[in-house]
Structure 1
Amino acid sequence: MLPDSFALLKPLCLSSCHSLDSLKKLHGLLLVTGLIHDHSVVIQTIKSYLRFDHPLLALSVFEAAENPTLYVHNLVIRGLSHHGFHSDLLRLYSRSQHSSRHRLGSDEFTFPFVIKACSAVSGFRAGKAVHCVVLRSGYGGNLVVQTALLVMYAKTGRMEWARKVFDDMSGRDLISWNALMSGYSSNGLDREAFEAFRQMQADGLKPNSSTFLGVIPLCRSLEPPMARDLMHGLSLKCGAFSDKALVPTLISMYAGCEDLTAARLLFDLLPSKDIVVWNAMISSYSQNGKWDEAIEVFQLMHHNDARPDIVTLVSVLSSCSNLCTIDCGKCIHAIGIKLGICDQSSVVAALVSMLSRYDTMMNLLRKASNLKDGVVGKTV
């Protein structure tokens, strides 16, 4: 007697199928018994393959289904998008629009993932074609779909199209504002991004940490300097410092404006510091030619038992190179060996640069010692 659908569905539940191998065996049993054609079984099988990070197997289940619904179609579309299978997603979408067997149409749960795939692999023309389908399907006013279109146009360098989509939105939320500002920023339109930030505030929306992370780096290219102080003040007012990613961005902003005093003050005020914060402060000093201070912060980091990473070593070795302090560089090299990260290409390059600069300086000093002109020798 063949098991019924319920008996076979039970092992497919999230808490029951613990391996891909067992799922494949169960899938084979479903094929043999013919119960794979049960709509509920199809859904559970697809969900299980997605849970094991195998969207292409989920796609094969969908394509073998007799009468798949739009819900099942969207389930596979979302899984392919989540795992980065954008080309497969677009092929599935195309078949679902034109195939006489699986012609399912699209809805507000389909379009955002299709539009994202267009921006990832196909570009402006494909995205624009999907935009036309969106309008014909009556989803042109859906905020989630509009935001996806905005991001797609921004990623393909068409900010005039992105702005038009944004202006057509009837209920802009923080996500859509952040997408617009990010689009301007990624396309090198810093002033437009900052102006959008001001417009967002005028509309009464409270920025979040994602907003600040996108806008703060722009302040280093804007005048007057009060722009950066305004951003810092707003960050404090809105409580955005609860996001640990924001503090390094602020430190880098001040360093980019050559205001290392403000950067260090912010750094010192933090009660606890992760590796990203330490690296931001060290890099800020190193990039502004304050190499002694960069090494001093690294030593402070070491005393606080914070574990350096590749970014840390490269920044500090660069400072050692500029100061020609070979002994300090050797100590940092030893730390890198102990941590097992000295075989990374960026660290090796920093070490080679430091040693070559030290050798060059030693050769100059040896030549200077043979010069009779004491002034020249002292200068070297």
Structure 2
Amino acid sequence: MPFFVALISSPLKTHFKFPIRLLNLSIINRSLTSLVSENNVRSLNSAIREFSVSGLSEKVLDIYVTLRLSGFKPDNFTFPFVLKACGHLNTLKDGQAVHTHILKVGFETDVYVANSLIDMYAKCECLEEAENVFDKMPERNLTSYYSLVSGYKRNGFVYEALELCDFMRILGLKHDRVGLKIIFPLCALSQCLKLGESIHAYAIASNLSSDLGVKTAILDMYAKCGMLEAAREIFDGILVKDVVVWNAMMSGYLGTKKPEKVLQLLREMCLERVPLSLVTVLLVLQACADLAALNQGKFTHGHIIKLGLESNAKVEGLLIDMYSKCGSLNSASKVFNSISGGNVNSWSAMISGLGMHGYGRASLMVFFGMMKRNIEPDWVTFLCILASSSHCGLVKEGEKFFDYMSRGFGIEPRMEHYTCMVDLLGRAGHIEEALRFIQGMPIEADASVWGAFLGGCKIHGKTDEGQSLEREIVNLGPRTGDCYVLLSSFNAEKGNWDGVMKTRGLMRERTVKKTPGCSLIQVNG
């Protein structure tokens, strides 16, 4: 009987707590068998490392299971690769089983093993265990701190991550290139521009700002903090730009509502013969959708086919969305129908596209078709179906889907869902019902919800209802001009020019600008 088959069928299996996986015997070959029989730890680690570097995480765990059954004794270099595989696959139970093994063989105090444990638990969304491992470490290095900082960031605890970075500063630890690439994105996420600027100064003083990865992180931070001139200055100063640098600048323009700049950068990329990546394609498709640039969208679609990315779930969804927003519903349908089975992104995009073109009933049928194929909707899907119901005046259907979202799928409504519901009721003229809905919300309504309510009042001439809530809405301090413009128009319709001046004064005081109206015309493609 072959060596590995004998191991799997041996009585040891019944006493081994690690989940037994279906082994691919063509991967685990004879050379590995001989290494086990020789107990050649160093060579076995090299073999496992090759699988890990190749991204074959399942195979890493398969080998680990087999080695354990063979009585092989791993060392402190074996476990980091195995834990990395657990984190990559998000298999917490497997990671916990490996942790138990580590405790048995006494490697829990090894700094490299402990760092890998922190990273694994963070990737498996088990931060409490990651913190426990960190707290129990007798010795820590920079990687220990960065592993936990990255874990906080990955799980949405941005300020906790920044606090830990500040604690590192108090301890006198100096950031290296790896740390800077973690910290600058944190500054961007938290919009802490001053902190980002001070760390930028540190990077320059420490001679770390010449690293391309660090430069890209700084560029991205400035762009996401709205400092496009500073970001562009860094971008222009990079003589040899890789695709990540181009993507960072594109992302900055897209995030500040400058999609035309994204397409301009795309043309420059093509002239410099920089190969497009998946991220580039996603950014360009979104820019085409925002500009309703159909010809550019078709050109990008051609690039996607050449790159072999047309079957990517995110690309499929954005292609449908782009064609829908460019007015080519037929092209959107063709993309959707070409997808075998589909995924939640593509179905949600098709629901949205049909809704924005006034085919509300058809969008509902697409949703039910999605259910028949056992594709579970997410919060975005329900947002699309509610928006579709709102645009098409399907009040009863929208109310049923809003209820179905939480009762049927356990999805808690977000502010966007509440806004859609108020918009649905307001557009249909159910102003009093919309107000009762807002008052019954379990969370405080923000400016977007009140903006939707005021929009409904405006459509149906219910200026008194809108004006009666003026003080409450103004106290929220909305940062967009939509609410103020609507309130101002209500006062103007009533001839209350003092009220108009007061509202405009508030806009100046709070530096709120009216969103300018615009029309897009595509000339010569």
TM-score normalised per structure 1: 0.70
Tell me the secondary structure at the aligned position of residue 110 of structure 1: helix
CA contact (8 A) 1:254 1:260 kept: yes
- Asked if 1:103 is matched to 2:172, the reply is yes
Shift of 1:85: 4.7
Match of 1:230 among 299, 316, 322: 299
SS in 2 for 1:245: helix
Amino acid at match of 1:107: D
Q: 1:206 aligns with which of 275, 278, 300?
A: 275
Give the counterpart letter for 2:205 in structure 1.
R
Cα deviation, residue 189, structure 1 = 1.4
CA distance in 2, matches of 1:95, 1:326: 53
Equivalent of residue 353 in structure 2, options 280, 284, 289: 284
Task: Show the counterpart of 2:319.
Answer: 250
Q: Distance in 2 between matches of 1:337 and 1:56?
A: 33
1:171 is paired with a residue whose SS is coil
Matches within 5 A, 1:1-380: 18=96, 41-52=110-121, 53-54=127-128, 55-61=130-136, 65=139, 69-97=141-169, 102-121=171-190, 123-222=192-291, 225-298=294-367, 300-301=369-370, 304=373, 306-308=375-377, 311-312=380-381, 315-316=384-385, 339-340=408-409, 346=417
Question: Shift in Å at residue 244 of structure 1?
Answer: 1.4
Give distance in 1, aligned partners of 2:293 and 2:191: 40
Worse overlay, 114-123 or 201-210: 114-123
SS in 1 for 2:177: coil
Query: 1:71-126: CA deviations, max 9, x gaps?
Result: 555455545544455445444444544x5xx5342321121112222223361111
Residue 236 of structure 2 aligns with an amino acid whose one-letter code is D
Deviations 1:315-342 (Å, cap 9, x if unpaired)?
Answer: 5566567767799889979987994569
Percent identity over paired residues: 22
Asked if structure 2 preserves the Cα contact closer than 8 Å seen for 1:333 and 1:342, the reply is no
Deviation at 1:185, TM superposition (A): 0.2
**3-state secondary structure, aligned to 1:204:** coil
Q: Which amino acid in 2 is paired with 1:149?
A: I
Instruction: Please say which of residues 68-77 and 254-263 is displaced more in the overlay.
Output: 68-77
The residue identity in structure 1 corresponding to 2:181 is P
Deviation of the 1:208 alpha carbon: 2.2
Distance in 1 of aligned mates of 2:97 and 2:162: 29
| 1:29-68 residue CA offsets vs partner (Å, 9 max, x unmatched) | x9xxxx99xxx73443444344333444455456x64xx5
The answer on whether the counterparts of 1:154 and 1:184 sit within 8 Å (CA) in structure 2 is yes
User: Quick one: distance in 1 between partners of 2:177 and 2:261?
Assistant: 30
CA distance in 2, matches of 1:314, 1:85: 25
Q: Could you tell which deviates more after superposition, 319-328 or 217-226?
A: 319-328
Gap regions ≥5 residues in structure 2: 1-72, 84-93, 122-126, 432-525
Q: Is the 8 A contact 2:351 2:388 kept in 1?
A: no
Mark the CA change 1:250 to 1:23 in structure 2 (over 3 Å): closer, same or farther: same
Q: 1:357/1:249 Cα in 2 relative to 1: closer, same or farther (>3 Å)? A: same
Q: Which residue of 1 aligns with 2:449?
A: none
Q: Which stretches in structure 1 are left out of the alignment for 5+ residues?
A: 1-5, 361-380
Write the letter of the residue equivalent to 2:198: A
Is the alpha carbon distance of 1:59 and 1:156 closer, same or farther for their aligned partners in structure 2, counting shifts above 3 Å?
farther
Q: Distance in 2 between the 1:94 and 1:71 partners?
A: 15
Give the aligned partner of residue 494 of structure 2.
none
The structural deviation recorded for 1:195 is 0.8
Query: 1:118, 1:142 → 2: CA distance?
Result: 19
Give the residue type in structure 1 aligned to 2:326: C
Amino acid at match of 1:242: S
Shift of 1:193: 1.5
RMSD of equivalent CA atoms: 4.5
Greater relative contact order, per chain length (Cα 8 Å cut-off, separation 6+): 1
CA drift of 1:309 comes to: 5.3
Residues 143 and 171 in structure 1, CA contact (< 8 A), matched pair in contact too: no
Q: Partner of 2:276: helix, strand, or coil?
A: coil
How many Å apart are 1:176 and its aligned residue?
A: 1.5
* 1:141–1:170 CA contact under 8 A, matched in 2: no
Instruction: Say whether the 8 Å CA contact 2:232–2:249 is kept in structure 1.
Output: yes
Residues in 2 aligned to 1:221 and 1:201: alpha-carbon distance in whole angstroms: 21
